[in-house]
Structure 1
Amino acid sequence: MQTLSVVLVEDEPGDAGLIRYGLKFSGGEHDVDWVTSLEALGTQLQAMTAAPDVILLDLNLLDSSGLDTISRCKAIATETPIVVLTGHDDMDFSLKALEAGAQDYLIKKGVEADALLRAMRYAMERHQLEQRLKESEERMTAAIEGGGLGIWEWNLKTDACYTNERLRKNVGFDAEDETAPQTLSAWMARTHPDDTDAVDEALKRHVKGEEKRYEIEYRLKHKQGHWVWVFESGHVVDRDSNGHPERMVGILQDISSRKEMEEQLRTLAMRDPLTGLFNRRSFMETMDSEYGRVKRHDDYHASILMLDIDHFKQVNDTYGHAAGDEILKHFARTISHTLRENDVFGRLGGEEFAILLPDTEREGSAYVAEKVRAAIAAMRVQAEGKAIRITTSVGMATLSANDKRPDGALARADAALYHAKQNGRNRVEQAESPTDASTAHA
């Protein structure tokens, strides 16, 4: 495993000790330098022969506090990914930390070695993609300014559209290919149906003088049948004596690789890298939307299941973290195969998972919970030459319009999960709804 160079910026010795202890037992070798302020971070970076792989950053330091700490850290360490260490278990605050420039964040309380290591590697991967995307955009801008791209010229009176060899090659037409479109209308016919209206509107707004320049990203159909993402820019260069536009010129660039990187970044932001499930942030956003439906419609019901793997620490200690990761992936796949297409399955952290069941009342969620429990009980994972058997405990709750926040149901399901474990594990427990609970205590 690669040795990571880590700089820990933390002014609380106790918290710093826990993080360093966690890194020591995360399954890899790490060079950890500990500093207590941003000023000390600058000094440390100057003394290092190479930039560290990652910075673990506490937001409240001797010489800085809050989100400003992130921007100041980025100014000091421009080429290093940042993982924020925070005591705020708050989705809005976490999103603000990411918007400020951090690549990931971790809640300090109860942070585990595995989660810490995954966060660092995730931050490094996301930082690399961001850098590649930034470089791609800079190259695209330079190419546009230099004019070394696909070129087109459109005669608005005849609809004839000249295109150079590079532009035609971008969508699969050879230099002498007579089947290549010769008019703008023919090119528009190759535009993706979902993008046609936007391209047409952008052209009209520029031709009418409402926009100084015509610029748009859209998909063109390649001669071989697949779709190619392109960036197109142009402007009117000739008008008649009455001011009516006669000719437009522009450039076109294939941006498929950039779009692919953007999609990878979106996936990294939404998905747990190990299992491919929704991460905590994405799951809570989806749950918030479902809570809104419950609030708006009296006859609409939704349920939440909380799950974790029974005795998972013992499995890790017995078979190792690699086997533990394999079990987590099998766990995710097995449950995914039991769910409906519109059910939402997420990994909240460690061995803790949650399932959102839209348009599902208690009876339906009880059926799904038992189906999930049974599927895991029947699952076997081959590791270290043995067939490992695991079980899961499940807590159930329904979303309620009486909840002030959508995570009220999550808290009830978590409490039910705790009871399932207390009552022997490998079982399903159902939480009372807020209405039931208030009636019982009346």
Structure 2
Amino acid sequence: MLKPDKAKWKIALFASVMAVAASAGLVGVQWLLQDEPSDLSISVMGTLYLLLFSILFFKLLRQSAQLEQVEREKEAQKLLDDTTLLYKNRVFKELAGTQIRMCKRNNWPAGLILMDIDRLAKINEKYGYDAGNQVLKHFATVLKETVRDSDLVARFDDDRFALLLPDCDAKNAKKVIQRIQARILEAPPKIEKSTIKIPFSSGVVSFNGKVAKLNHMLKRAGEALEAAKRRGGNRIELF
């Protein structure tokens, strides 16, 4: 793939070559029509100029749009997990820090949920890693479709996901995770004609004050998640 600067130089070079070719072509046309009335020569030259440079302009616009699309895709790849298309761990932490500071300034509550798919390793063993990836994609899709646009969702680790809920206390955060559970139960993915259940554990923590930090919230949510898994999994624990 060309780097942006090199691509632009190629476009500029192409434009120059096309301009020279158009000029040479017009000189040839004028020479062919030198015995004809001057009005006809001028009309033909004008038409050819318009046609050639319309084609050139369209091609330049299309290449510019393609280049911008490539750059957007490259930027998205830096931010999003390849499998789930959710934010990566690092990106989530940066954005979550900003969201938490906003909640503090406005004295809003904020909820944080860590989720872990309980038996993903067994799904991988039984159906293969492609099936495991399908489960991850399905889980990520349900998360994105269930939460608000203002919420942050990320793939935090292999089978662990994080969800930050601005302006959401512990009670409402629990309702959110219950809706996610219901959606997962209602529409489990099908792999090789088999319906795959996706049990998962959740740890929920919230704050409504001026002192909470993201690392502190992550630690508490992680402790609640581990408690849920110790108690058999497929359950919600509040810190």
**TM-score exceeds 0.5:** yes
Unpaired runs of 5+ in structure 2?
20-48
Change (3 A) 1:168 1:320: same
Name 1:79's counterpart in structure 2. Answer: none
Aligned partner of 1:380 among 181, 185, 188: 188
TM-score using structure 1 length: 0.43
Cα deviation 1:39-69 (Å, max 9, x = unaligned): xxxxxxxxxxxxxxxxxxxxxxxxxxxxxxx
Paired with 2:102 and 2:200, the residues of 1 have a C-alpha distance of 30
Q: What pairs up with 1:273-312 in 2 under 5 angstroms?
A: 273-298=82-107, 300-312=108-120
Determine what percentage of the aligned residue pairs are the same residue: 25
Cα deviation 1:275-325 (Å, max 9, x = unaligned): 111121221221011011123222x12211110101211111121101101
Name 1:341's counterpart in structure 2. Answer: 149
Deviation at 1:166, TM superposition (A): 5.2
Cα deviation 1:331-370 (Å, max 9, x = unaligned): 1112222222222211112111111112212221111011
Deviation at 1:141, TM superposition (A): 5.4
Change (3 A) 1:164 1:366: same
Paired with 1:168 and 1:139, the residues of 2 have a C-alpha distance of 19
Paired with 2:220 and 2:13, the residues of 1 have a C-alpha distance of 55
Paired with 1:229 and 1:293, the residues of 2 have a C-alpha distance of 43
Name 1:368's counterpart in structure 2. Answer: 176
Q: Runs of 4+ in structure 1 displaced over 4 angstroms?
A: 141-144, 146-149, 163-167
SS at match of 1:425: coil
Checking the alignment, whether the CA contact within 8 Å between 2:173 and 2:204 is kept in structure 1 is yes
Change (3 A) 1:170 1:139: closer
Deviation at 1:420, TM superposition (A): 0.9
RMSD of the alignment, in Å? 2.6
Name 1:352's counterpart in structure 2. Answer: 160
Paired with 2:106 and 2:227, the residues of 1 have a C-alpha distance of 31
Checking the alignment, whether the CA contact within 8 Å between 2:96 and 2:214 is kept in structure 1 is yes
Paired with 1:381 and 1:338, the residues of 2 have a C-alpha distance of 16
Is it true that 1:139 corresponds to 2:16 in the alignment?
Answer: no
Paired with 2:60 and 2:13, the residues of 1 have a C-alpha distance of 19
Change (3 A) 1:141 1:168: closer
Change (3 A) 1:292 1:143: farther
Name 1:271's counterpart in structure 2. Answer: 80
Checking the alignment, whether the CA contact within 8 Å between 1:376 and 1:392 is kept in structure 2 is no
Cα deviation 1:11-64 (Å, max 9, x = unaligned): xxxxxxxxxxxxxxxxxxxxxxxxxxxxxxxxxxxxxxxxxxxxxxxxxxxxxx
Paired with 2:60 and 2:72, the residues of 1 have a C-alpha distance of 12
Checking the alignment, whether the CA contact within 8 Å between 2:113 and 2:205 is kept in structure 1 is yes
Checking the alignment, whether the CA contact within 8 Å between 1:307 and 1:392 is kept in structure 2 is yes
Aligned length: 209
Q: Counting strand residues as a fraction of each chain, which structure ranks higher?
A: 1
Checking the alignment, whether the CA contact within 8 Å between 2:202 and 2:224 is kept in structure 1 is yes
- Look at both structures and tell me which one has the larger radius of gyration over its CA atoms: 2
Q: Counting helix residues as a fraction of each chain, which structure ranks higher?
A: 2
Q: What pairs up with 1:141-180 in 2 under 5 angstroms?
A: 142-143=13-14, 146=16, 148=18, 165=51, 167-169=53-55
